[in-house]
Structure 1
Amino acid sequence: MVIPTYNEADNLAWIVARLRQAQPGVDVLVVDDNSPDGTGGLADDLAAADPAISVVHRTEKAGLGAAYLHGFDVALRSGYDVIGEMDADGSHQPEQLGRLLEALQDADLVIGSRYVPGGSVVNWPLQRLLLSRGGNLYVRLLLGIRVKDATAGYRLFRRTTLEAIDLGSVRSTGYVFQTDLAYRTLGRGLRIAEVPIDFVERERGDSKMSGQVASESLRRITRWGLSERRAQLRRRWSRA
């Protein structure tokens, strides 16, 4: 399970302990973007005490997608057949990871979804919830996909899925990264399953998501989505 971190010193040990207790067979890869609060050092301490935990230290904060791409590359080169992602702040419940693991038996990518029946969002202000739901509706309309929570970050990929979607060509580094990978998965004819999760707003530390960040993500999705639509039309005309 790849866990990216930036200034998560208050949360990292807590969430990793929960994950190791809930799923003792799951290894953990912390990808730290040179956190000034010492998160990287704390990760090293965890790794020294538990052989199932490893750490990648990056030199700068280059975006969520960039951290995940780095972690995925390390995990693929290490030979893992299932590679996951989750937040370090406690918003994704490790105790619900079993739902994703079970669903992966019949899917190529499993998304822990806030917006399928049984899913929920806890302690979000109404404005943020509406922005998230509206953003996902916009993604479905713009890209023509049926994924209810394309922006979600609690996921499991098969190795073969990450290999098929050509990670080397992914240029999105921010929050649009999640939508990009879901769209690429469907574009390769692969299967996505969504399972309900309870997304709980962090209790400690500062959220990396803001209205400004979310708005910028939607603008990037618009530019990227329109570009993809134009490419689809060109391909159709070339086959006509």
Structure 2
Amino acid sequence: MPSATHLVLIPSYNTGPLVLQVVHEARAAWSPVWVVVDGSTDGTAAALQAAAQVNPGLEVFMLPANQGKGAAVLHGLEEAARRGFSHALVMDADGQHPAAAIGAMMAASQAAPDAMVLGLPVFGPEAPQLRVQGRRISNWWARLETLGGGIGDSLFGFRVYPVAPLLEIMQRNRWMRRFDFDPEAAVRLSWRGVRAINLAAQVRYLQPEEGGVSHFHYVRDNVRLTWMHARLVVGMLGRLPVLLWRRVAARPAPSAATPR
């Protein structure tokens, strides 16, 4: 039976036929599954719409032009809130994220609905070392910006978000529309007091001959990430008293000395 509270949300932009496999695997693990086609020009929109015609657990939304991952997620969140869903598991359409882990991620979210459930990537030997090592910089900044708020990985986009707080953050913020969505969403939710639960999830980096597609641009997107972290550090400064208080409050109380 389809969940009335939790859905899988897949933003898709020019990922080729691989998106159909991702959607098939996601549907085998969960229902409903929504795909937001972010202005794709590779012909996959028609194939996805055809699949939705014969699969009641699948729904496809079309954006007229490419607006970015965050914008596609925002479109899905707005529709999810309108229909009464409380949580959305966001996963990429390029085959990197493990559909087999959807059930465990959703179960963790259902057990702790006030939390965000963040995938913690487990990299295989095929993972590009430049990507693996480079993400440590973003993770360091995220820990600083939240004063150790528990974000295991700031860039891994396989996550279950509580819809209401994330939607409110995005509607009040003109950023978070492209590659900067994943780290900024986690940091800003942490600022709001949404705690993070980290669950290990295997990552697949597909080669081009396997259908792998990447829209990551090292110069452009690293500049965007640098600008994002600069904004977040400035935003963190105004929240220091609250963040420090939370850090102190989270410390375990010292155990009483055992009487002799």
Same fold, judged at TM 0.5 (above): yes
Q: Confirm whether residue 212 of structure 1 aligns to residue 219 of structure 2.
A: yes
Match of 1:5 among 1, 5, 12: 12
Q: After TM superposition, what 4+ stretches of structure 1 lie above 6 angstroms from structure 2?
A: none
Partner deviation per Cα, 1:35-65 (whole Å, 9 max, x = no partner): 1111211111111111111111111111111
Secondary structure of 1:57's counterpart equals: strand
Residues 122, 7 of structure 1: alpha-carbon distance in 2 compared, 3 angstrom cutoff: farther
Contact 2:154 2:186 in 1 (8 A): yes
- Partners of 1:3 and 1:31 within 8 A in 2: yes
Q: 1:223 aligns with which of 220, 230, 234?
A: 230
Aligned match for 1:42, one of 34, 42, 47: 47
Q: Which runs of 5+ in 1 are unaligned?
A: none
Q: Per-residue deviation at 1:218?
A: 2.5
Q: Name structure 2 gaps, 5 residues minimum.
A: 1-7, 244-260
RMSD (Å), alpha carbons: 2.2
- Kindly report which structure 2 residues correspond to 1:13-162, keeping only aligned pairs within 5 A, or say none: 13-23=20-30, 26-104=31-109, 105-106=111-112, 107-114=114-121, 119-121=122-124, 123-144=126-147, 145-162=149-166
Shift of residue 148, structure 1, vs aligned partner? 1.6
Change (3 A) 1:48 1:157: same
CA shift in 2, pair 1:226/1:189, >3 Å: closer
TM-score normalised by length of structure 2 = 0.80
TM-score of the two chains, using structure 1 as the length reference:
0.86
Q: Does the C-alpha gap of structure 1 residues 182 and 42 become closer, same or farther in structure 2, counting only changes over 3 Å? A: same
2:200 paired with 1:193 = no
Percent identity, aligned pairs only?
Answer: 26
Single out whichever of 169-178 and 208-217 deviates more from structure 2. Answer: 208-217
CA deviation map 1:160-210 (0-9, x unaligned): 4435x4331132212221122212222222221010000111331420113
